[in-house]
Structure 1
Amino acid sequence: MPCVELGFLEECESWKLESRMFPSKVGGKPAWLSLKTLPSAEQLKCNKCNCTMVFLCQIYAPYEDCDENTDIWINNFHRTVYVFICRNSNCNDRNTTENIAVFRNNIPRMNDFYSYDPPEEKPDTTFDVRKFTSLCNACGISAEKRCSKCKIVFYCTREHQVIDWKNGHKGICLNQSELNNAETLSQILFSEWELITETERIENEEFDEAKELQKFEELKIQGKTGTLENVSEYELNNHASSEKDKVFLKFKKQISYYPEQVVRYSRGGNPLLIAKEPLPTSIPDCELCGGHRQFEFQIMPQMLSELKEQNLDFGVILIYTCTSSCVGNSVNSYKKEFAFRQDVSLSDN
């Protein structure tokens, strides 16, 4: 069974989250790996409201455990998986992923964008992604619309141009010096963090299901079912009705050892489910190579509370990716992968 790496949020200097550093990160703008053939604004539209989805997180996860002579290792020397989500609360339907998009990108060590050798751990003012591609000034995705006044910054949609204008571009639009040095964090983005990992280590401890259920009944009598031990009220206050669910109790027990975990990574392993249904039993094969997809990581509900997100809510988001991490017809292009959302059961309402 593959080990589980847990992800936690940590503050860091902004240069450490640039593309050249191959970061794992949450919030802010995406740090694109390949700087060509990025996902288009059309590909990142929410299937519910048709608005542009916002970057949630990315995980740098190369295939380091493969034979170095195989195509998988060569093509996946650098590899990152990206997750986007719509911030419109009206699109946040239970157990569906119409408002979520996942993209994978992998490139060889010898590529058009980065040095063959590891990057130096220091700021580098000479590196600029704008040498390779145009990005939306508001959200950081691929953009084709240029500001008609300064003709320097780009936008993915008219909506984001208006937002960025109000967010500060209006005051510096015709000041080229300020434009070249400006780095704005739009109100539409999540706060930006580095994602650091730690291997999950839990002492073998028998899980007493009957005892946990009895504990829940006692809390219910006391009117405290919304404040379970080691799990904050905000994280689970919308799920209190289903705490009799045995799967949920096991979920609660597992995360109690590391209550601040926002990601669980275990490529080829099994997800930690939060409810007994729906189950990820019919994961579609890769549309490019026809191969199977495997579980790679999951986003935990704690991520929303850590980001102080008040409008969205989910149980867990499970990410499945092509087992061979294929490149399709293009080494540089971004490949769409599969997300499965599972919310806590409401069967006990």
Structure 2
Amino acid sequence: MADDDDFSEEEEGLEYMLGFARSPEGGPASLLRHQFPSKMGGRPAWLDPVHLPTRDQLTCQATGQPLNFLLQVYAPLEAEREDAFHRALFLFVTPQGPAVTKPGAVRAFRCQLPRKNPYYSFEPPKPDDLAPPDLPAAAVESSLAADPWRTLEAEPAVAAACKASSAGTGNGTGNGNSSTQGAGSGKPAPNKVSLHLYPELELDVEPEDRETEQEDAALTKLMEDYDSRVESEGELTEEEVPEEVLNQVEENCPIDRKHFAMFQARVSCAPDQVIRYCFRDGASPLWPSPANLPTLADVPPCKRCGAPRKFEFQVMPQLLNHLQQDEMDPAALDWGTIVVYTCSKSCSGPPGGAKYDEEFVWVQPS
């Protein structure tokens, strides 16, 4: 679903949104579900907190092990769809890095709600609404039984810690060091969750500020660095060339190196980006490599309504820097990019149907 000329084509009228992993300015309570966050790590901030994905859905199909929660993106369609006033995408990954490119090792789920729903106020939350609205006891019990992370159990402690912190600082934001991993301590909450929790950070989303001149300058610098070293030191082996220079663009360089250099030049406009998002028609992923790309036939239509799926967002390799992995761990995650394709109609099921629809994921190797 991409070709070698993708980088040279102008995507006229398309604006990509970039996500950056940052400590939440509003403290960890700002990442609870009633704030409709985009975030990575910690526990899932379930949009529908009761009708959760099944245990089978939350299992890695390649290893049979429980998936780890990686991130979620709040992507409402309130201007277009009444039933998707609130809409979020959740991404889960295998705990075994070598399996990450296998089918079912990375799984994505879409959930959406109308503005009037049983879980949240019709109006946006107020600054002092640190905790989500209360749920009936039966709903809480049902959620905890289905949720490996037992998120509803952790929420009160997070809100209480932020309230105590704001009372001490007077700014209402907390110290930014606690998370839904524990009640302000960074330790697991008393529910004894055994799943691995990645560091919890907000995904701060901004429009891409793309300057073609800046990309051209980045490409030119790559070539100049390479030529300068060759002039002073002679031809260099791959082992001697720095990684950023190895991918310089020359007329006779292999297509994969040329492609990656162009990828790097585009990313250099915002090198810390961890996600790229655009649900507009004609949007496409930014591929690090021309190899291992999906064809149209590889991306199946929506199982519910039969509409074709289209690109919605991708996870960049820079996100790996925020996972605090041991680089020597053979199970550590690694990828070139993770691309999520979703139902082009963003269809909703019947009232009593599943609330988390699985979408399609393509993982390009590092």
Task: Check whether TM > 0.5.
Answer: yes
Whether 1:48 aligns to 2:57 is no
Partner of 2:322: 306
Structure 1 pair 56–101 and aligned structure 2 pair: CA distance change class (3 A): same
Aligned match for 2:84, one of 68, 73, 76: 76
Alpha-carbon distance in structure 1 between the residues aligned to 2:88 and 2:361: 15
**Could you tell me how far 1:91 is from its partner in structure 2?**
1.9
> What amino acid is the match of 1:7?
G
Partner of 1:119: 125
Aligned match for 2:75, one of 51, 56, 61: 61
Where is the helix percentage greater, Structure 1 or Structure 2?
Answer: 2
Give ranges in structure 2 of 5+ residues lacking alignment. 1-12, 154-180, 183-187, 248-253
> What amino acid is the match of 1:20?
H
Q: After TM superposition, list the pairs within 5 Å mapping 1:172-183 onto structure 2.
A: 182=190
Partner of 1:36: 50
Aligned match for 1:221, one of 217, 220, 236: 236
What is the number of equivalent residue pairs in this alignment? 292
> What amino acid is the match of 1:188?
H
Partner of 1:296: 312
Give ranges in structure 1 of 5+ residues lacking alignment. 67-72, 144-166, 169-178, 232-241, 345-349
**Could you tell me how far 1:137 is from its partner in structure 2?**
7.7
CA contact (8 A) 2:337 2:363 kept: yes
Partner of 1:285: 301
Residue deviations 1:22-54, cap 9 Å, x none? 111100100000123210111111111101001
CA contact (8 A) 1:216 1:243 kept: no
Partner of 2:105: 99
Determine helix, strand or coil for the equivalent of 1:80: strand
CA contact (8 A) 1:6 1:197 kept: yes
Partner of 2:347: 326
In percent, how many aligned pairs have the same letter? 32
TM-score of the two chains, using structure 1 as the length reference: 0.74
Structure 1 pair 302–136 and aligned structure 2 pair: CA distance change class (3 A): farther
Structure 1 pair 64–225 and aligned structure 2 pair: CA distance change class (3 A): farther
> What amino acid is the match of 1:116?
F
Residue deviations 1:81-139, cap 9 Å, x none? 0000012234234xx44311100001100101011111112343473568422167863
> What amino acid is the match of 1:293?
R
Determine helix, strand or coil for the equivalent of 1:273: coil
**Could you tell me how far 1:308 is from its partner in structure 2?**
2.2
> What amino acid is the match of 1:114?
Y
Determine helix, strand or coil for the equivalent of 2:244: coil
Structure 1 pair 141–53 and aligned structure 2 pair: CA distance change class (3 A): farther
**Could you tell me how far 1:294 is from its partner in structure 2?**
1.0
Alpha-carbon distance in structure 2 between the residues aligned to 1:270 and 1:294: 8
Please provide the CA RMSD for this pair: 3.3
Alpha-carbon distance in structure 1 between the residues aligned to 2:123 and 2:334: 41
Alpha-carbon distance in structure 2 between the residues aligned to 1:47 and 1:324: 27
CA contact (8 A) 1:262 1:300 kept: yes
Q: After TM superposition, list the pairs within 5 Å mapping 1:326-345 onto structure 2.
A: 326-330=347-351, 333-344=355-366
CA contact (8 A) 2:30 2:130 kept: no
Structure 1 pair 182–275 and aligned structure 2 pair: CA distance change class (3 A): same
Structure 1 pair 183–119 and aligned structure 2 pair: CA distance change class (3 A): farther
Shifted more, 306-315 versus 191-200: the winner is 306-315
CA contact (8 A) 1:28 1:185 kept: no
Q: After TM superposition, list the pairs within 5 Å mapping 1:137-286 onto structure 2.
A: 139-140=149-150, 182=190, 188-205=196-213, 207=216, 212=222, 215=225, 218=229, 221=236, 223=239, 225-228=241-244, 245-268=257-280, 269-282=283-296, 283-286=299-302
Alpha-carbon distance in structure 1 between the residues aligned to 2:317 and 2:288: 10
Determine helix, strand or coil for the equivalent of 2:262: helix
**Could you tell me how far 1:141 is from its partner in structure 2?**
7.2
Determine helix, strand or coil for the equivalent of 2:44: coil
Residue deviations 1:240-294, cap 9 Å, x none? xx89522211111111121111001111311111111222222111000000111
**Could you tell me how far 1:204 is from its partner in structure 2?**
2.2
Alpha-carbon distance in structure 1 between the residues aligned to 2:100 and 2:242: 22
**Could you tell me how far 1:59 is from its partner in structure 2?**
0.3
> What amino acid is the match of 2:275?
V
Alpha-carbon distance in structure 2 between the residues aligned to 1:277 and 1:199: 28
Alpha-carbon distance in structure 2 between the residues aligned to 1:126 and 1:272: 36
**Could you tell me how far 1:225 is from its partner in structure 2?**
4.1
Structure 1 pair 137–293 and aligned structure 2 pair: CA distance change class (3 A): closer
Structure 1 pair 281–141 and aligned structure 2 pair: CA distance change class (3 A): farther
**Could you tell me how far 1:340 is from its partner in structure 2?**
0.8
Structure 1 pair 270–90 and aligned structure 2 pair: CA distance change class (3 A): closer
Determine helix, strand or coil for the equivalent of 1:253: helix
Partner of 1:151: none
